[in-house]
Amino acid sequence: MTDIILETRNLHRRFTSGGGLLSRRTVIHAVNGVNLQVRRGETLAIVGESGCGKSTLARLLLRLIEASEGQVIYDGRDLTALPGPQMRALRAEMQFIFQDPFSSLNPRMTVETIVGEPLLVHDRLTDAQRRAKVGDLLARVGLRPEHADRFPHEFSGGQRQRISIARALATSPRLLIGDEPVSALDVSVQAQIVNLLEDLKADLGLTLIVIAHDLAVIRHMADRVAVMYLGEVVELAPTEALFTTPRHPYAQALLSAIPVPVPGAGAERQVLGGDLPSPANPPPGCRFHTRCPFATDRCRTERPALADVALGARNGHQVACHHHASIPTPALPTARAGSRSPASERRFALWRAATNTTTNKESTHDHP
């Protein structure tokens, strides 16, 4: 059995708009030639600024939208070529957690119906067996059995996200993709959901792909990180390698913006010049060259390939930059500290303790 559970090969997604009598047809290059491999049992994070194509890529991975070009290989099978019935059967192994836990839940359904619906599609269970499994799933994500009879509007944001996770776990998936699963939640609740996902991954042997903006959360939970810019992966590295020795100028700028909760530990912020180019008219060559302080004529004409970085024992570090070997590594706050700050460590320890208590405050006190 191969170690790779999911792979993309030259994956593209283009959207079109306009084309009427009074408007010109516009092609949006949302995802442009992405090549990724996801290993079994790992957590891969995909990061980048808004509009870089993270969410589009996540939906392409599960064929929630169709690829314009390229392949998505899941466990040796090309998802882009599977007929409808085979794809529907395979979806039991691959599940998605959406960003907004309220809009992704049907307000007219009870929790029992929402969580039990995948069981109706993929499992042949009696009504009693389905109700029992729904109760087990709710308990696994920190909710009580009586919550099964309530509707989504009766819950807090964190509880709704727990319901979404329970629904995703109903078919016993092997691969779970979260599109910013904690971005709509309060900070303390974010930590509870992150810890819940980590516990479920360990208990169930899941492979996680997480789309996120919060780099502090990513460093806490991810094994590897892919940095996207304007539809392309510009750096792919083990988490600590990326946070200590980022090689792409865009990744360096992202990491320099991380706030550090230690007085006097801040480093000089790398502010990018110019605006993000339009995906309808991406620049030639390296797509980052219009904002890169190290760009040369070669960057303006030749697209860099994602290639290995020679950093001694740091295996698996790749970057798409012609000049990464000569670009200095900045003195980032995270790099100087070498690990999370003591304040950050205490914060995560407190969050972990809060989520491991036998009585979940969010579940027991939000609603009488």
DSSP string of 127-173, one letter each residue: HHHHHHHHHHHHHHTT--GGGGGS-GGGS-HHHHHHHHHHHHHTT--
| Separation CA 282–CA 232 (nearest Å) | 11
pLDDT (0 to 100) of residue 311: 52
| Separation CA 290–CA 305 (nearest Å) | 18
- Complete domains list, the chain, with CATH: 4-222+358-365 (3.40.50.300)
| Separation CA 62–CA 235 (nearest Å) | 22
Highest-scoring range by mean pLDDT, 213-222, 283-292, 302-311, 334-343: 283-292
pLDDT (0 to 100) of residue 264: 58
pLDDT (0 to 100) of residue 219: 87
| Separation CA 79–CA 93 (nearest Å) | 13
Residues 6 or more apart whose Cβ sits within 8 Å of residue 323: 294, 296, 299
In whole numbers, what is the pLDDT of the chain averaged over residues? 84
Beta strands, E only, 298-349: 307-308, 318-319
| Separation CA 193–CA 183 (nearest Å) | 11
On the 0-12 / 13-18 / 19+ scale of CB atoms within 10 A, 69 is middle
Residue 274 in this model has a pLDDT that exceeds 50: yes
Between strands 207-211 and 43-47, the pairing is parallel
Residue 102 in this model has a pLDDT that exceeds 80: yes
Whether 63 and 77 have beta carbons less than 8 Å apart is answered as no
Residues 6 or more apart whose Cβ sits within 8 Å of residue 65: 13, 56, 59
Residue 8 in this model has a pLDDT that exceeds 80: yes
Amino acid, single-letter form, for residue 8: T
| Separation CA 238–CA 294 (nearest Å) | 24
- Higher local confidence (pLDDT), 199 or 101: 199
pLDDT (0 to 100) of residue 364: 41
Residue 339 in this model has a pLDDT that exceeds 50: no
pLDDT (0 to 100) of residue 177: 95
SS3 percent helix, strand, coil of the chain, rounded to 5, is 35, 20, 45
pLDDT digits (tens, 9 = 90+) for 130-183: 999 999 999 999 999 889 999 999 999 889 999 999 999 999 999 999 998 888
Short-list 254, 247, 255, 253, CA closest to 309:
247
- Per-residue pLDDT, averaged over 266-289, amounts to 82
Tell me how far the alpha carbon of residue 242 is from its chain's centroid: 16
pLDDT (0 to 100) of residue 46: 96
- Higher local confidence (pLDDT), 157 or 353: 157
| pTM of the predicted protein model | 0.85
pLDDT digits (tens, 9 = 90+) for 32-74: 999 999 999 999 999 998 889 999 999 999 999 999 999 999 9
- Higher local confidence (pLDDT), 245 or 333: 245
- Higher local confidence (pLDDT), 334 or 35: 35
| Separation CA 228–CA 33 (nearest Å) | 12
Residue 297 in this model has a pLDDT that exceeds 80: yes
Query: How many CA within 13 A on the CB side of residue 350?
Result: 9
